[in-house]
Structure 1
Amino acid sequence: MNPLPEGCVRKADLPGRSVLWRAVGGQRRDVALGAVLGMGHQTGEALVPVLIGLAVERGVVDGDAGGLLLWLGVLAVVYVGLSFSFRFSARAGERASVTAAHRLRTQLIGRVLAPEGGAEDGRLPGELANTATEDAKRVGAVTMALIVGIAAATGLAVGAVVLLRISLVLGLLVLLGTPLLLWLVHLLSKPLERRSETEQERAARASGVAADLVAGLRVLKGIGAEPAAVARYRRISQESLTATLRAARAEAWQNGVVTILTGAFLALVALVGGRLTARGDIGLGELVSSVALALFLIGPLSEFSWVNAQLAQGRASAARIAEVLGADRAVTPGGPSDGAVLRRVEGRLRLSSLSYGSLREVDLDIAPGETVGVVTTDPGDATALMRCLGRHADPESGALALDGTELPALSLAEVRAAILVAEHDADLFEGTLLDNVTAAVGAHAAAPVTAAIAASGTDEVVRALPDGPDTAVTARGHSLSGGQRQRVALARALAADAPVLVLHEPTTAVDAVTEAGIAAGIRDVRGGRTTVLVTNSPALLAVTDRVVLIEGGRVTASGIHEHLVHDLAAYRTAVLT
């Protein structure tokens, strides 16, 4: 399966709506608890105007001081109840929101790190980080929006029932007018949803480019490319800002229109109530309750505006998350259910008419314990070969077998344990230098680690650092020079002591003397185990048992390095220029 070109993203097989429902369904207990308590809070809020009206009716109209105190006491109890309901409803909603976001982040990270790959194709690391943070947070916030929406609807319903008891006209006005208002609010949220999706895409792209530029800052300075890099980021950042401002304008416009519609609706309710009181259809206490209920309804109706904005943004973010979770896998897991095929790895590799990417019908047989160099005239051929050997992609045609078993018949864990592919641009991790070297084997494996450090020339790095092997290394190894990073990464690959080791240009950042020492070290430490050196370095090729030349995606020559240099002009050009 070919990797996608930069900027191209597959459409998700998993719909965004499914992501939303699963996020909410996973927190149904907290959502239900928050909704019930929120309903209690809004019911209490809706009853407050009624209790105030009763207190006015008894105390002011009837002159009943005892009745006044009684209803004031009931009012105080209701206030205490709705206060606690709000507190614990908000706590349940916040817990549901952060937990849903956390689970989505876990799913996203699991998908990105899945052995089958594919989720990272066409996406910068910063884009994936933005999806796992901002988009997951927005989808998690939908749980809180549902709680608030259900509570607000309850408040409206209770208010409508009370108004129906006070006056049929007022009750019908609220019952018929509220659905119309909510429908208008929903229509207003559509432009916001579209612009929010664009905003998130542009923001993620800007984050990805920024992360790339920071990671390559030293290289950019070295080649004097800072102006071009700054111009590129300024353009992408400006696009992100423009999208954000459009989304903000859409949200502000929605909120403004909703506020106007809500205010007009409540003014109509208050006007009708006043006319009914003037005609004597309702009493003074009922008028007070009606006006207070009209003011109370501002809260639930305005909350619907916030809820719709959250749902619109949540739907847009859910669609982006679905694209990652539903991305096509680069390879199938392979292997039987128990994941065990090979009893013992001898290390024989066989490529039979293999075609992938720029490679065309490559035939190559590598014997167990053999050290083979692979020289390519096109860097794309080397990249394609590395992807197939590490089973990050399957051949388009032909086959690749380990000890007579084709790689797709093995589990990915078995393939990765048997064949270690060390990329040219391998990253280091935050921790000590020794932590990085022992990442695959553990610090207890002293002998392989010591040998790997010596063979890779990392012992010189250790001696040059203030705390030796315990020197702290920053993320991606930026506290080390390019040559130091490369040697530490090579030491990590050698220390893993894999049955089959594939190294891609492991010495491009070191001097010639160091490179010669590393070449001899690789030969010694890898004695008896299969090693493939994908490189154009004469020093490394000189220690191989034989070398294969790939031109135009095909194997065109094979032999000992010294003979090929002497006899073949194309080979001589590839390794000596």
Structure 2
Amino acid sequence: MPIEGHDVLRRAIAGQWRHVTAGSVLAAGHQAGEALVPVVIGLVIDEAISSGDAGTLVRWIAVLALVFAGLSLSYRFGSRAAERASEQAAHGLRVQLTERVLAPRGGAETGRLPGELVSVATQDARRVGAVAVALTAGISALTGLVVGGVVLLRVSVPLGLLILLGIPPLLLLAHLLGKPLERRSGAEQERAAHASGVAADLVAGLRVLKGIGAEAAAVARYRRTSRESLAATVRAARAQAWHDGGMLTLTGVFIAAVALVGGRLAAQGDVSVGELVTAVGLAQFLLTPLSVLSWANGEFAQGRASATRIASVLAAPPAVIGGTDAPPQPVRGRIRLSGVRHGALRGLTLDAAPGELLGVVTADPAVAASLLRVLGRAADPEAGTAELDGVPLTALDPAEIRRAVVVAEHDADLFEGSLIGNVTAAAAPGAAGPALAAAAADEVAEALPYGTATVLTERGRSLSGGQRQRVALARALATGAPVLVLHDPTTAVDAATEARIAAGIREVRDGKTTIMVTTSPALLAVTDRVMFLDGGSPVEEGTHTGLVHGNEAYRATVLA
């Protein structure tokens, strides 16, 4: 069943029903107390001041003090419960979104920049969580209006009926006023999220942009995106202004009507002095719950728009479907692709024997990317089959596949934390040390102030490009996976270090299947066999030395 925005909103609130209920009851108590204040003051006037009875005055002042104490405590603890519900609901949504984005079957990231997903998980989750506060505030405001109406009904039937019968159409008009705000708020969040995603994308690729001299194009792209976001924000702000102005006008007309009717009744002598004070006080009090209802309506409109965006991520179709089995144990590591068509791959047939170190060479980055997606089951082939130990990958659970087949992409990121923590995050027992040496990451540790305990900044930006590559490679090697797929793991290191890494990979991966998608002569020189692809189709295979001497296109690809 597809997830809709109202489902997200309902579940977020229902999941915090205890706190929402407690907050609503206490907040309602606060508003009821606020409504009783002018009532008690009116009674003080009628029963104590008019008669001059000091004892009665003291008693009613004590009652007034108790009312103030009750409404103060209700507000304090009601607000605490509502805020707790809001924060926990937002946190729950962030956890759901994170689980969906990290789900082995993928799909949530399709068509979305990372910054957009971050915006949904932060800003939109916060707005949906805020609906819990708006709900408790709305219930308390309605309670205040009802209590005020009932009291006025006892003072004067026309005044009470005016309020009680005027609330439903007022709420309906408020809902209609919130519709444009809901639409434009959704567009605002969408454009803001897109701008955030573009900004994060540009910052992440800043070095590359400077290297190719594309700063001007990047600035122009962000300026265009930023202006679109600004225009959406202005439209949302205009809708917010119309909403607030419309609600202010409605509440003003409503209060004016109450005041006019109350004044006429007082002029005719239908109410006493104390009752007149009560009516005037309640008329002034009604401004607060009506303002709260206006604010709550705006929060609901924005919350509904954000819930729709969250639902679009949670309900995103998976990138791969089917497959629940685990690979046969133990995993031998035979990888076979037969006539695979996907993306840039055009009928690729590939066979990596268990324990083989296979090199795959292609001049087209799209071919390499498509091959990695198929091997890691980030996508299923459009045609043909991909197998692990004779079992089609489509029959296997993606999470189980990735325990057996680790795909280390070229642009792998490091995490904030210690260097050794990055390597041991998914390491097999005792594999971290040999992996550090094989990837020449031990030299990186020696150059750092605290060695392997040195804390890295976000994405490892405190390291150079070559240092990051070596630590990322060590992390991949430390997994000890039966099948390891490496994509250009040494493009940012010098020739001497690259030769040492090639020998280290050969040693550490001895007896385990390794596929290196690369054009590095140093890495290809240690492979058992090399397959040369052109346009996603196999052209020739053999040893690296044989292909260098016998295939001009291969020679141009790896030696250029």
TM bucket, shorter chain:
over 0.9
| Partner in structure 2 of residue 17 of structure 1 | 6
Q: Which of 290, 301, 320 is residue 331 of structure 1 equivalent to?
A: 320
Structure 1 spans left out of the alignment, 5+ residues: 1-11
Secondary structure of 2:173's counterpart equals: helix
- Report the alpha carbon displacement of residue 335 of structure 1 after superposing the two structures with TM: 2.3
Q: Deviations over 1:59-105 (max 9, x none)?
A: 34444443333322222211111111111111110111111011111
1:565 maps to which of 544, 548, 552: 548
The secondary structure found in structure 2 opposite 1:364 is strand
Identify which range, 544-553 or 475-484, moves more after superposition: 544-553
Structure 2 counterpart of 1:192? 181
Instruction: Provide the residue aligned with 1:95 in structure 2.
Output: 84
Report how far residue 176 of structure 1 moved: 2.4
Q: Are residues 1:298 and 2:294 paired?
A: no
Q: Which residue of 2 aligns with 1:372?
A: 358
Is residue 123 from structure 1 mapped to residue 107 from structure 2 by the alignment?
no
User: What whole-Å deviation, never above 9, does each CA across 1:95-154 have from its counterpart, x for those lacking one?
Assistant: 111110111111111111111111112212211111111111110110111111111111
* Aligned position for 2:142: 153
Distance of 2:449 and 2:166 partners within structure 1: 75
Per-residue deviation at 1:333? 6.2
Partner of 2:395: 409
Work out the CA distance in 2 between the residues paired with 1:39 and 1:140: 20
CA offsets, 1:341-375, max 9 Å, x none? 42201111111222211212222221111111111
Deviations 1:417-448 (A, max 9, x none): 11111100111111222222222216x61xx3
The DSSP-based 3-state class of the residue aligned with 2:486 is strand
Q: 2: CA distance between counterparts of 1:221 and 1:466?
A: 29
Deviation at 1:296, TM superposition (A): 0.8
In structure 2, what is the Cα distance between the partners aligned to 1:43 and 1:460? Answer: 71
* Cross-structure match for 1:542: 525
1:260 alignment partner, SS class: helix
Q: Aligned partner of 1:526: which letter?
A: R
Q: Provide the identity percentage.
A: 64
* CA offset digits 1:403-425 (Å, max 9, x no partner): 11112322333211111111001
Question: Which structure 2 residue ranges, 5 or more long, are not aligned?
Answer: none
Residue of structure 2 in register with 1:180 after alignment: 169
User: Is 1:163 aligned with 2:152?
Assistant: yes
Q: 2:427 corresponds to which letter in structure 1?
A: V
Residue by residue over 1:445-478, the C-alpha shift from the partner in whole angstroms, topping out at 9 and shown as x without a partner, is: 1xx3332222222233233333332333211111
Would you say 1:232 and 2:228 are equivalent positions? no
Residue among 419, 423, 440 paired with 1:437:
423
Q: Is the contact between residue 13 and residue 323 of structure 1 (CA under 8 Å) also seen in structure 2?
A: no
From 418, 436, 450, the equivalent of 1:453 is 436
Q: How far apart are residue 266 of structure 1 and its match?
A: 0.8
2:66 paired with 1:77: yes
Match of 1:243 in 2: 232
Residue number in structure 2 paired with 1:504? 487
**Comparing 39-48 and 249-258, the one that deviates more:** 249-258
Question: 2:368 aligns to what?
Answer: 382
Q: Which amino acid aligns with 1:566?
A: H
The worse-fitting range, judged by mean Cα deviation, of 252-261 and 148-157 is 252-261
More deviation, 431-440/343-352: 431-440
Match of 1:463 among 446, 455, 466: 446
**Would you say the 8 A contact 1:13–1:327 is kept in 2?**
no
Q: Distance in 2 between matches of 1:504 and 1:571?
A: 18
Counterpart among 343, 362, 368 of residue 329 in structure 2? 343
CA distance in 2, matches of 1:218, 1:130: 24
Match for 1:557: what amino acid?
Answer: E
Distance 1:392 1:248 in 2: 41
Letter in 2 for 1:464: A
Q: Identify the range of structure 1 (35-44 vs 66-75) with the bigger mean alpha-carbon deviation.
A: 66-75
Residue 32 of structure 1, CA deviation: 0.9
User: Which segment is superposed worse, 87-96 or 12-21?
Assistant: 12-21
The one-letter code of the counterpart of 2:527 is: T
Partners of 1:354 and 1:80 lie apart in 2 by: 75
The 5 Å alignment of 1:472-491 reads 472-491=455-474
Counterparts of 1:356-367 in structure 2 under 5 Å?
Answer: 356-367=342-353
CA contact (8 A) 1:374 1:550 kept: yes
* Structure 1 residues 252 and 95, CA gap change in structure 2 (3 angstroms): same
State the superposition RMSD in angstroms. 1.8
CA distance in 1, matches of 2:493, 2:327: 40
Q: Residues 25-45 of structure 1, C-alpha deviation per residue, up to 9 Å, x if partnerless?
A: 000111111111122111111
> Corresponding residue for 2:301?
312
Partner deviation per Cα, 1:1-21 (whole Å, 9 max, x = no partner): xxxxxxxxxxx9310100000
**Equivalent AA in structure 2 for residue 482 of structure 1:** G
Separation in 2, partners of 1:451, 1:89: 58
Quick one: structure 1 residues 71 and 347, their matched pair in 2 at CA, closer, same or farther if it must change by over 3 Å?
Answer: same
Letter in 2 for 1:255: D
Judge conservation of contact 2:441–2:470 (CA < 8 Å) in 1: yes
Amino acid paired to 1:501:
L
* 1:352 aligns to 2:341 (yes or no): no
| Mapped partners of 1:406, 1:394: distance in 2 | 10
Contact 2:327 2:388 in 1 (8 A): no
Give the whole-Å Cα distance in 2 for the aligned partners of 1:179 and 1:272: 19
Contact 2:322–2:395 (Cα < 8 Å) also in 1 = no
Q: Secondary structure at the match of 2:350?
A: strand
Name which of 395, 402, 407 aligns with 1:421. 407
Partner residue in 1 for 2:42 = 53
CA distance in 1, matches of 2:65, 2:250: 33
In structure 2, the partner of 1:258 is 247
Q: Which of the numbers 34, 37, 42 marks the counterpart of 2:31?
A: 42
Q: 3-state SS of the aligned residue for 1:365?
A: strand
Task: State the alpha-carbon separation in 2 of the partners of residues 263 and 413 from structure 1.
Answer: 60
Paired residue type of 2:558 = V
SS, match of residue 111 in structure 2 = coil
Secondary structure at the aligned position of 1:428 is classed as: coil
After superposition, the C-alpha distances for 1:144-175 in whole angstroms (9 at most, x for unaligned) are 11111111111111111111111121122112
